[in-house]
Amino acid sequence: EVHRFNKAQQDAFLPWVENGTLIFVGATTENPSFELNNALLSRARVYVLKALEPDDLQALLVRALADDEQGYGGRLQCSADELQRLAVAADGDARRALNLLELAAGLAESQGITEISSGHIDEVVSGTVRRFDHGGDLFYDQISVLHKAVRGSDPDAALYWFARMLDGGCDPLYLARRMVRMATEDIGNADPRALRITLDAWETYDRLGSPEGELALAQALVFLACAAKSNAVYVASKKAQRDAREEGTREVPLRFRNAATRLTRELDHGKGYRYAHDEPGRFVAGERYFPDDLPDRIYYEPANTGLEIRIGEKLAALRAANRDARKAGDGHK
């Protein structure tokens, strides 16, 4: 369990590993890239232990039934089909497979019979917990592929991974929160209904709980997967955040400042402001809302899909009107 060592303890290994005094062998259920110091990791060779296949586990179970010293010495029988069921239920874990076999064998022996039946298998595999490490790599791998299935417009795969995570014990409210992110990050204004539907599903789950409320989440998930996709708002937001960090503090133009008091009015706050609702088309052609010393930016570029097609057409017309007005000398350049 090498991930249990803190960074200082790991550093203590370095000189001894470096000069060959220590042969360092560690095992971890966590991602070593996150849990080990880079210096120690660079001096080690990493081997990934993968889950066993059902056929491998079935071979293990056959040996356990036959082994005289550590197994059942052939005194219990079990058909290949039932052993395969145990192997699948073990979900790649040899220790779990042996534990399930031991439980099934105990049921058979308690009844004084030598055949492990399908009924015994039914009893031990019901409610078997799948591999699902809360907060670990497997957890984040599964939520990652769920998100990508929605982004890739595959409702069937999305439902599969949704069911896998629920089966593994994931909190449905975590999935609801992640679905809200999908609605804003990957669908956005291409179909604004996605956000409302997802929030409604979240509220429905809050009211009904499991398992009934999970159907509302599944319904929203399918809608997200089938909806038109756009990350235009996500990309635009990232660009604006970058400029806000890198461009420094820029002053708000006087015409847009709040003129709530006599002093602020004397300082020309609000002077020259044009009220959009009083303008033709409720649009102030030629006006600039950026700081005076910051050139115009175009952050939001609607995708050519869903509602953003119409949004893009409107924005193109407004931006053209701005350009024409500024060329004519009307508005702030």
Min mean pLDDT across 164-173, 220-229, 232-241 is at: 164-173
pLDDT given at position 35: 83
Please write the tens of the pLDDT for every residue from 36-65.
888 888 888 888 888 899 999 999 999 999
8 A C-beta contact, residue 57 and residue 94: yes
8 A C-beta contact, residue 121 and residue 83: no
Q: Is the pLDDT of residue 85 over 70?
A: yes
8 A C-beta contact, residue 187 and residue 224: yes
Please write the tens of the pLDDT for every residue from 139-195.
788 999 999 999 999 999 999 999 999 988 888 999 999 999 999 999 999 999 999
Q: What percent of the chain has pLDDT over 70?
A: 95
Q: Name residues whose C-beta falls within 8 Å of residue 263's C-beta, 6 or more positions apart in sequence.
A: none
Q: How many CB atoms lie within 10 A of CB 267?
A: 13
User: Which residue spans of the chain are classified as CATH 1.10.8.60?
Assistant: 54-125
Q: Which of 305, 300, 332 is nearest to 315 (CA)?
A: 300
Give me the helix-helix angle, 137-151 and 172-182, nearest 10°. Answer: 40
CATH 1.10.287 fits 251-327, yes or no: no
Min mean pLDDT across 129-133, 151-155, 213-217 is at: 129-133
pLDDT given at position 265: 86
CATH 1.10.8.60 fits 54-125, yes or no: yes
Look up residue 94 and give its amino acid. Answer: A
Give the pair of three-digit tokens for residue 229. Answer: 């996709």
Q: Is the pLDDT of residue 72 over 70?
A: yes
Rg, C-alpha atoms of the chain: 31
Does the pTM of the predicted model rise above 0.85? no
pLDDT given at position 332: 60
**Distance between CA atoms of residues 125 and 117, nearest Å:** 13
pLDDT given at position 198: 98
CATH number belonging to the domain at 137-226, selected among 3.30.500.10, 1.20.272.10, 3.30.70.2190, 3.20.20.70: 1.20.272.10
Mean pLDDT of the chain: 90
pLDDT given at position 134: 53
The CA distances from residue 64 to 53, 83, 98, in Å, are: 17, 11, 8
**Distance between CA atoms of residues 145 and 6, nearest Å:** 31
pLDDT given at position 129: 47
CA atoms within 13 A on the CB side of 54: 11
User: Which residue spans of the chain are classified as CATH 1.10.3710?
Assistant: 251-327
Residue 328 burial class via C-beta count within 10 angstroms: exposed 0-12, middle 13-18, buried 19 and up: exposed
8 A C-beta contact, residue 285 and residue 324: yes
Stated length of the chain: 333
Q: Name residues whose C-beta falls within 8 Å of residue 208's C-beta, 6 or more positions apart in sequence.
A: 216
